[in-house]
Amino acid sequence: MPSTPCFAPVADHALLVELGETIDDATSDRIVALDRALADDPPPGLREVVPGLVNLLIDFDPCATDHRQIEAAVRNCLAHPPAAGRAGTLREVEVCYDPDLGHDLASVAEQTGLSVDEVIAAHLSGDYRVRMYGFTPGYAYMSGTPEAIQLPRKPAAIRGVAAGSVIIAGPQCIVTTLLMPAGWWVIGRSPTRILTGDLDHPFLFDVGDPVRMRRITRADYDRKVAA
């Protein structure tokens, strides 16, 4: 179990709750559990809870509550953990590993001493879980990239990485949503839309959801993107 959590005030409207020091599954599970507990029983004045990798940010209305009351509500949630943790909803991401779309496949293979097919097989075998969204709309940071294909990020970001790119660095994996610079390794492209366009459920994943990658052919990819 964690030592006592750390609380730090953020300006006049938020509290940062740190539940661990290193990025690991145990810390992440505690964050997801607290996030859900606060969603089930929100203290008065709560505006928003933002899960991070080792902490959560709790944003509140300073006219309705304060840092102290929010801290008390969090301590209460932590003292009464839910009986059974919910597992999240299994989500599927389709990935096309065509070398024209996964520009860095060959480079990842070379650096890891694997064949391109082995890199793809390793990526497909990963047991992914959404740890947080960050940086920009819909960028879901997933843990679970297998050790065999873990690489440090590139020394500098590459401009113009297409939306839908499947990128990896260290144990993390992201399916990008915008044309943006990225310093991670581009190993494929996905037609799966993280920004769903559905107003009732605009983002595919919830934090804590497990994710499975499924391989599709280039023809499938082209057809799905055209649709």
Partner 1 sequence: MTTARLRVTFAGPHVSYQDGGRPGLLRFGVPESGPMDGLAHAAANLAVGNPADATAIEISPAGLTIECVDGGVTFAVAGGGFVVDHAGTRSGGWEVRTLRPGETLQVQRGHWGSWTYLALAGRIEAAEWLGHTATHTTSGFGGGLLESGGEIVIRDSRISPERERRFPCPVLARAQSTARVVLGPQLHRVQPEAVAALLTGAHTLSDSYDRMGVRLRGPALAIADALSIPSEPIVAGSIQVAGDGVATLLLRDHQTTGGYPKIATVLAADLDRVVQLRPRDRITFQAVGADRAIQIARLHAQRCAAYLGTISTPN
Interface residues with partner 1 (CB under 8 A) are 8-14, 16, 22-23, 47-57, 59, 62-63, 66-68, 132-141, 178, 199, 202-203, 207
Q: 19: closest CA among 32, 10, 36, 6?
A: 6
Complex with partner 1: residue 60 or 97, whichever CB lies closer? 60
Coil, strand or helix at 84? coil
Q: What are phi and psi of 30, to 5 degrees?
A: -65, -40
Q: Which is nearer to partner 1, 6 or 124 (CB)?
A: 6
Closer residue to partner 1 (CB): 57 or 121 = 57
In Å, how far are 45, 64, 144, 192 from 73, measured between CA atoms? 11, 14, 32, 38
Bridge partners of residue 50, in order along the sequence: 57
- We find the least distance from the C-beta atom of residue 168 to partner 1, in angstroms, to be 16
User: In angstroms, what is the minimal distance from the CB of 82 to partner 1?
Assistant: 19
User: Residue length, the chain?
Assistant: 227
Would you call 39 exposed, middle or buried from its count of C-beta atoms within 10 A (0-12, 13-18, 19+)?
A: exposed
- Least separation in angstroms between CB 62 and partner 1: 4
Considering the complex, state which of residue 84 and residue 201 has its C-beta at the smaller distance from partner 1. 201
Q: Are 7 and 58 in contact (CB under 8 A)?
A: no
Token duo for residue 87: 């597992």
23 or 116: CB nearest partner 1? 23
Q: Which of 210, 220, 217, 215 is nearest to 124 (CA)?
A: 215
Give the residue with the Cβ less far from partner 1, 62 or 81.
Answer: 62
Shortest Å distance, C-beta 51 to partner 1 = 6
Q: Write the burial class of residue 151 (CB in 10 Å: 0-12 exposed, 13-18 middle, 19+ buried).
A: middle
CB of 187 to partner 1, least distance (A): 21
In whole angstroms, the minimum distance from the beta carbon of 98 to partner 1 comes to 26
